[in-house]
Chains A and B, each alone.
Chain A
Amino acid sequence: MLKSAKTSRLLASPYLAWAFIFILVPLGMILYYGLTDDAGAFTLQNITYIAKPAYFKSLLLALELGVISTVICFLLAYPLGMILAGMKLGRHEFILTLFILPMWMNFLLRTLTWMTLLERKGVLNDILGLLHLPPVYIINTPAAIVIGMVYNFLPFMILPIYNSLSKIDDNVINAARDLGADPLQTFLRVTLPLSVPGIISGITMVFIPALTTFAISAMLGGSKVLLIGNVIEQEFTVAYDWHLGSGMSIILMLFILINMVISSVSDRKEAG
């Protein structure tokens, strides 16, 4: 459309400059701080700090809670996506709106709701008390954090799964049925594989924020549960150690990179 490559380059240059200053240079700074000490000399010490039991544990716990939340989100969202995709047009849009509506509320307010519900003298225990049931003490445990993650990130799983399921042509399903596949076989051999791109993008969109969060664990964990996100946040805002904080950020980026490679490989497999 644009005949001249010159014009194209000219038009693209503001963004290129922007991306260079605000995306690439800052990442370079994390690398610089992460790989140097106070004196500015090269060191791997900020990276190897992760091997210390306290730090390693926070990473493992973040991975564990991230995986659990992602799996729960998937198990909740997939049937929902199927039900919505199977509905008559017109109605499902409205219902889908209802399920992603909380996403438009502020992230911290969504987390705050669970603080209020789960607190020792919170709403949930109030209701249990009225029913003469024993109170539950979930607040300030990993379980509370998982609930917070699932609640916050569920819409990010519902949307892509619904999108990919609703794109499946009914004729493909019918063809499978005509060829003698039972409903389970149809699901396993046709529906599920065709929805893999949606599943993968859902998993990425839930797993990465869950792995790296510090706000949810700070609010629902009572500072008793330490995730890698909290460690990084505290190195910058409490301990004032930019080098160590950057080192831990590099570790986090490695995991994000691994996740990306896995998802792009399986994406390609699907496409091929």
Chain B
Amino acid sequence: MKKTFEKIYLTLIFIFMYAPIAALIVLSFNASKSRAKWGGFTLEWYANLLSDSEVLDALINTLVIAFIATIFATLIGTVTCIAMMGLKRRSRAIIMGITNIPMINADIVTGISLMLLFRIMNVSTGFLTVVLAHITFNIPFVMLSVMPRMKELNPSVYEAALDLGATPYTAFTKTVLPDLLPAIISGALMAFTMSLDDFIITYFTKGSGFDTLSTLIYNEVKRGIQPEIYALSAIIFTVVLLLLLFINRVPHKLSIPHK
């Protein structure tokens, strides 16, 4: 009895989550431009999408930005975590406090504050400013993933390696880094996801003639949704689904750091 109830509940939430996506996928094959009518099966929107340089450019921009921002955020975040171990308790608390700001603050405030900064410093907004903004909001995700692992590390292993004649560099790469790696990767993955998904901060820090997928879709929505966007959703969903089926163990390791 309880089992049946649980199954029904899971199914209902499952429908809530996936029915809208299913509807979009169906619409992406609808020959009629109108949402109200089924005009037969077509692959036209997919073909249009592939020849639409605006969408492809936005897709490339999104991936490139997420990629660069993740690399930098991971490097800076990890180095800072390592450095924190040698700092006094108070300095550590201050650094963590600052790090928490972009996590807790509203995206709209973060976005606007960065826009003001770039304006006052007379940096013309564009690719670079978006990357800087993404690195800024990505670093906390890396640090909050690496820091707890860092605290669990046993420093005596590192010291033992030094005593046995290893250089600090070798000692670090052989003892500390392997232990940290899972946390670093999970932080990087989180940062990458956040970058891909971001709309608000990009919206305020992007310049002329430059769009990521999010800002492109927002503009499209204001002008009336074209069926190509449904095709795009279907493709993105399929890619994400395949990727996650492939690594279905991820969510266990990749829990969002608690705010």
Question: Direct A–B touching in the complex (beta carbon < 8 Å)?
Answer: yes
Residue A37 at the chain B interface, CB threshold 8 Å: no
Residue B164 at the chain A interface, CB threshold 8 Å: no
Known: A29-B117, A211-B106. A97 touches B76 (CB 8 A): no
Cross-chain contact B256 with A205 (CB below 8 angstroms): yes
What are the 9 closest A-B residue pairs judged by CB atoms, nearest first? A8-B86, A26-B113, A11-B83, A2-B86, A212-B106, A113-B20, A12-B83, A15-B80, A201-B258
Cross-chain contact A24 with B240 (CB below 8 angstroms): no
State in angstroms the CA–CA spacing of A70 and B91 once bound together.
Answer: 35
State in angstroms the CA–CA spacing of A106 and B101 once bound together.
Answer: 24
> Using Cβ atoms and an 8 Å threshold, which residues of chain A touch B110?
26
Which residues of A226-272 have CB atoms within 8 Å of chain B's CB atoms?
229, 232-233, 236, 242, 245-246, 249, 252-253, 256, 260
State in angstroms the CA–CA spacing of A233 and B16 once bound together.
Answer: 30
Question: Of the 9-residue stretches A52-60, A75-83, A185-193, which lies at the interface with chain B?
Answer: A75-83
For B57-88 the 0/1 string (1 means CB < 8 A from A) is 00000000000000000001101101111111
Cross-chain contact B82 with A11 (CB below 8 angstroms): yes
State in angstroms the CA–CA spacing of A154 and B88 once bound together.
Answer: 39
Categorize the interface residue count of chain A: 35 or more
Residue A179 at the chain B interface, CB threshold 8 Å: no
Cross-chain contact A232 with B244 (CB below 8 angstroms): no
State in angstroms the CA–CA spacing of A104 and B117 once bound together.
Answer: 30
- Least CB distance from B65 to A in Å reads 14
Contact for B244 among A101, A151, A212, CB less than 8 A: A101
Residue B233 at the chain A interface, CB threshold 8 Å: yes
Which residues of B89-126 have CB atoms within 8 Å of chain A's CB atoms?
91, 95, 98-99, 101-102, 104-110, 112-117, 120
Residue B173 at the chain A interface, CB threshold 8 Å: no
Contact for B116 among A1, A30, A105, A201, CB less than 8 A: A30
Known: A22-B117, A215-B218, A236-B204. A253 touches B105 (CB 8 A): yes
Cross-chain contact B158 with A121 (CB below 8 angstroms): no
State in angstroms the CA–CA spacing of A47 and B203 once bound together.
Answer: 24
Known: A4-B86, A108-B199. A14 touches B79 (CB 8 A): yes
Cross-chain contact B85 with A115 (CB below 8 angstroms): no
State in angstroms the CA–CA spacing of A25 and B116 once bound together.
Answer: 10
Cross-chain contact B21 with A18 (CB below 8 angstroms): no
Residue A143 at the chain B interface, CB threshold 8 Å: no
- Least CB distance from B247 to A in Å reads 9
> Using Cβ atoms and an 8 Å threshold, which residues of chain B touch A2?
82-83, 85-86
Which residues of B218-251 have CB atoms within 8 Å of chain A's CB atoms?
218, 221, 225, 229-230, 232-233, 236-237, 240-241, 243-244, 248-251
Question: Of the 9-residue stretches A38-46, A88-96, A168-176, which lies at the interface with chain B?
Answer: A88-96
Chain B residue, CB-CB nearest to A204: B259
Interface centre among A18, A121, A156, A209 (most CB of B within 10 A): A18
Categorize the interface residue count of chain B: 35 or more
- Least CB distance from A227 to B in Å reads 11
- Least CB distance from B166 to A in Å reads 14
> Using Cβ atoms and an 8 Å threshold, which residues of chain A touch B6?
83
> Using Cβ atoms and an 8 Å threshold, which residues of chain A touch B183?
none
Residue B31 at the chain A interface, CB threshold 8 Å: no
State in angstroms the CA–CA spacing of A26 and B241 once bound together.
Answer: 38
Cross-chain contact B255 with A159 (CB below 8 angstroms): yes
Cross-chain contact A30 with B244 (CB below 8 angstroms): no
Chain A residue, CB-CB nearest to B221: A219
Cross-chain contact A5 with B204 (CB below 8 angstroms): no
Instruction: Identify 10 residue pairs between A and B in the complex whose beta-carbon atoms are under 8 Å apart, listed by A's number.
Output: A1-B159, A15-B79, A22-B133, A97-B250, A100-B251, A110-B20, A151-B16, A211-B106, A212-B106, A215-B218
- Least CB distance from A206 to B in Å reads 11
